[in-house]
Amino acid sequence: MMGRGNFAGRRNELEEKFFREKDMELIRALREKTATLERKKALADASGIEHEKLLEQLDQLEISAENLAALSLFPLVAVAWADGRLDDKERAAVLASAQQIGLNDGHPGYQLLEAWLQQKPDKKLAGVWYEYISALCQILSPEAKAELYEDLLGRTRAVAEATGGLLGLGSKISKSEQAVLDELARAFD
């Protein structure tokens, strides 16, 4: 038979355990919120973008300040996957472009880019890229925006031309690749 003292002691023990667990949950939530805010601030600092919804989407897709450069190369990946498959020449063209902008093997952005080349990225990523470019274009001067457009679409066109054309004849860019190029160009309007 359990005495009243034992029951009260056990009740106190259970209450303390309950509140310790609640405290730990609150601490975990606070740490996660702080970490999220720090990641979003780093993204904002790296990109110059302050659009809260876009920063939230980038964070949810695990795009960090370190791999933001990979996101800037998303159009190359999109055109490489335009026909539903990616060949070795397209892969090499994307990775060569990454190295030209300083993304080398071992860099988190390069690793992310390689993952996108192994498996076609989720369509959500395209939407985030469009929002990213839209927000970026709002803070760029017209000259910088034009330069970004020319550079990015030039690199993307080079990936599209990496394969294609029959025996060197005809257009090297397929209809599906051209559709992706046209859509990417509209992001700058």
In 3D, which of 158, 160, 159, 134 has the Cα closest to residue 145?
134
Q: How far is CA 110 from CA 81, 90, 120, in A?
A: 17, 16, 15
Q: Is residue 38 in a domain?
A: no
Q: Is residue 12 in a domain?
A: no
Q: How far is CA 68 from CA 54, 110, 119, 168, in A?
A: 13, 10, 19, 36
More confident residue, 72 or 9: 72
- Structural domain containing residue 174: 52-186
pLDDT in tens, 151-186: 889 989 999 988 764 445 556 788 899 999 999 999
pLDDT in tens, 43-60: 777 666 677 877 787 788
- What number of other Cβ atoms are within 10 A of residue 88's Cβ? 9
Q: Is residue 82 in a domain?
A: yes
Average pLDDT value over all residues in the chain: 81
Q: What is the pLDDT of residue 118?
A: 95
Q: Is residue 83 in a domain?
A: yes
Q: Is residue 170 in a domain?
A: yes
Find residue 166's DSSP bridge partners. Answer: 169
- What number of other Cβ atoms are within 10 A of residue 14's Cβ? 10
Q: Record the pTM.
A: 0.68
Number of domains in the chain: 1
**pLDDT bracket for residue 94 (50, 70, 90):** very high
- What number of other Cβ atoms are within 10 A of residue 87's Cβ? 13
- 143-152, Cβ contacts within 8 angstroms, sequence gap of 24 or more: 145/188, 148/188, 149/185, 149/188, 152/72, 152/75, 152/184
The pLDDT of residue 74 is above 60? yes
Average pLDDT over residues 71-85: 91
CA 143/CA 67 separation, integer angstroms? 25
More confident residue, 131 or 46: 131
Q: Is residue 152 in a domain?
A: yes
Q: Is residue 175 in a domain?
A: yes
* Residue corresponding to tokens 């992001």: 187
Q: Is residue 13 in a domain?
A: no
Q: What is the pLDDT of residue 117?
A: 95
Q: What is the pLDDT of residue 166?
A: 45
Average pLDDT over residues 128-139: 84
More confident residue, 56 or 88: 88
